Amino acid sequence: MATFLFDSVVFGPVTSRRLGNSLGINLLPDDKKICSFNCIYCECGLTLHGPAVSGMPTRKEVRDELEKWLKYNDQLRAPLDTLTFAGNGEPTLHPEFPAIVDDTVELRNRYNARVKIAVLSNATRISNHNVFKALLKTDLNILKLDSGFEETITLINAPVARFNLDETIARLKEFKGKLIIQTLFFRGKIHHSTVDNMTPREIEKWLGTLEQIKPESIMIYTIARETPVEGLVKASQKELQAIASQAADRGLKVQISF
């Protein structure tokens, strides 16, 4: 099983395909993945631990680690583009996520106001009012949508708790455009079933769903590291460019990462 876990609260900066020089913030344990999805392509491995709070850093620990790093970086004058909530699973599962976002905004404004705050989320917690409001406070509210079909999401993302795509889309629309949709394209097999979210049927449904949500932009990308499920095939650059072209024809702003 492929596993790539972050072993600290603050990590990097790393050079991100999508976010430039990005300082990561991991709100999950440093020795296991905790997530509400079990994506078959996840670089952190399969989800062995569903939504839980044990082992998560406290709000104070996150604030102290982030402030220590920002003070140090301020002295170095090192380039930094984003502070990114990512890490070992779904960041919005942290029970103090809204308060931690507030702390991060305050620290960012104090030490480097030009740096953007980003969240990479699977959107499973946006029905929580406080999480929803916290995401609106970020500069880059990046939410996952790998298909417009619930059966495909079940194959690819394998929600570990109740998930309803229609409800998720309705909530995504409530951001009123202040969100970025990220989609990973690939093909392969899982449990003897073929999965391919790049077929014409899939792309048409995905584009129609995006037209409902009206995000400020979309990020499309493909597999970059080893996956926990074998036999998955990354999208080619040509395939991503073709998908981006179709999205642009619908008036969507697209960023490709390959």
Classified as helix, coil or strand, 250 is coil
Q: Is residue 98 part of a domain?
A: yes
**Residue-wise burial string across 46-69, b where 16 or more C-beta atoms lie within 10 A, e elsewhere:** bbebeeeeeebbebeebbebbbeb
Query: Contact, 135 vs 119, CB < 8 A?
Result: yes
Residue at 4 is within a domain: no
Give CA–CA dist 202/156, Å, rounded: 13
Whether residue 102 is contained in a domain is answered as yes
Is position 86 within any domain?
yes
The answer as to whether 5 is a domain residue is: no
CB 213 within 8 A of CB 169: yes
Q: Which residues on neighbouring strands pair with residue 21, listed in sequence order?
A: 15
For 154-184, the pLDDT digits (tens) are 999 999 988 999 999 999 999 999 999 999 9
> Which amino acid, residue 223?
I
* Residue 126 within any structural domain of the chain: yes
- Say whether pLDDT at 42 is over 60: yes
- Domain membership of residue 133 (yes or no) is yes
Q: What stretches of the chain show up as alpha helix (H) in DSSP?
A: 59-76, 97-111, 129-136, 150-156, 165-173, 200-213, 237-249
Q: Are the CB atoms for 66 and 104 separated by under 8 Å?
A: yes
Domain span including residue 17: 10-256
Between CA 156 and CA 40 the distance in angstroms is 6
Distances (CA, A) of 179 to 7, 13, 79: 29, 23, 25
Q: CATH number, domain at 152?
A: 3.20.20.70
- Asked if 84 and 22 touch (Cβ cutoff 8 Å), the reply is yes
176, 155 contact by CB (below 8 A): no
Q: What CA–CA distance (Å, rounded) separates 39 from 51?
A: 14
- pTM here? 0.93
SS3 41: coil
CA distances from 254 to 81, 168, 218 (A): 19, 21, 5
Instruction: Report whether pLDDT(78) > 80.
Output: no
Q: Sorting pLDDT into bands at 50, 70 and 90, what band is 193? A: confident
241 falls within a domain: yes
Distance (Å, whole) CA 25 – CA 127: 23
Q: How confident is the model at residue 52 (pLDDT cuts 50, 70, 90)?
A: low
86 CA to centre of own chain: 7
DSSP 205: H
pLDDT digits (tens, 9 = 90+) for 122-163: 999 999 999 999 999 999 999 999 999 999 999 999 999 889
Domain count, the chain: 1
> Residue 189 has what pLDDT?
86
